[in-house]
Amino acid sequence: SQELEQSPQSLIVQEGKNLTINCTSSKTLYGLYWYKQKYGEGLIFLMMLQKGGEEKSHEKITAKLDEKKQQSSLHITASQPSHAGIYLCGADISRGTGNQFYFGTGTSLTVIP
C-alpha cells in the first residue's frame, strides 16, 4: 500500500493557468516536504511544512499543510513552461517502530506554451 497518495497523477495545463496538486497520507504526518524532479536530474527541494495550518510560498508556488486532514496541497499560480516536471511530496510517517520517510506517487505536470 502507498503511504502517500498524490493527485492528480498527471496534469496538462495551458501556460498562465493556476493548478493544485494534493498529497494525502493515511497516517499521522511529521513534516511534509515538496520536491520537483526533471527528467535526468535529481530532486530539487521546494519547501517544507511542519505545523498544521502552515503555509509557505516561493515565487509562484504556495504549499499548505492541513494536519487534521493529513493532507498538503501545492498551488502554482500563472503556470509557466519552467514549472513543468514531476512534483513529489515526501513526509515522515509514523510507524509502529518509529518514523520513516516516504515519498508520494508523484504528479507529472506539463505546461503548454
Partner 1 sequence: EAGVAQSPRYKIIEKRQSVAFWCNPISGHATLYWYQQILGQGPKLLIQFQNNGVVDDSQLPKDRFSAERLKGVDSTLKIQPAKLEDSAVYLCASSLREAQYFGPGTRLLVL
By CB under 8 A, name the binding residues for partner 1: 4, 31, 33, 35, 40-45, 48, 50, 88, 90, 100-106
Min dist. Cβ of residue 96 to partner 1 (A): 12
Residue 54 CA to residue 35 CA, distance in Å, equals 17
Is the Cβ of residue 94 or residue 105 nearer to partner 1 in the bound state?
105
Min dist. Cβ of residue 50 to partner 1 (A): 8
Min dist. Cβ of residue 93 to partner 1 (A): 11
Is the Cβ of residue 17 or residue 95 nearer to partner 1 in the bound state?
95
Min dist. Cβ of residue 76 to partner 1 (A): 19
Which residues, in sequence order, are bridge partners of residue 88?
35
Is the Cβ of residue 27 or residue 102 nearer to partner 1 in the bound state?
102
Residue 15 CA to residue 36 CA, distance in Å, equals 18
**Smallest Cα–Cα separation from 113: which of 19, 10, 13?**
13
Is 87 in contact with 109 (CB distance < 8 Å)?
yes
DSSP label of 53? T
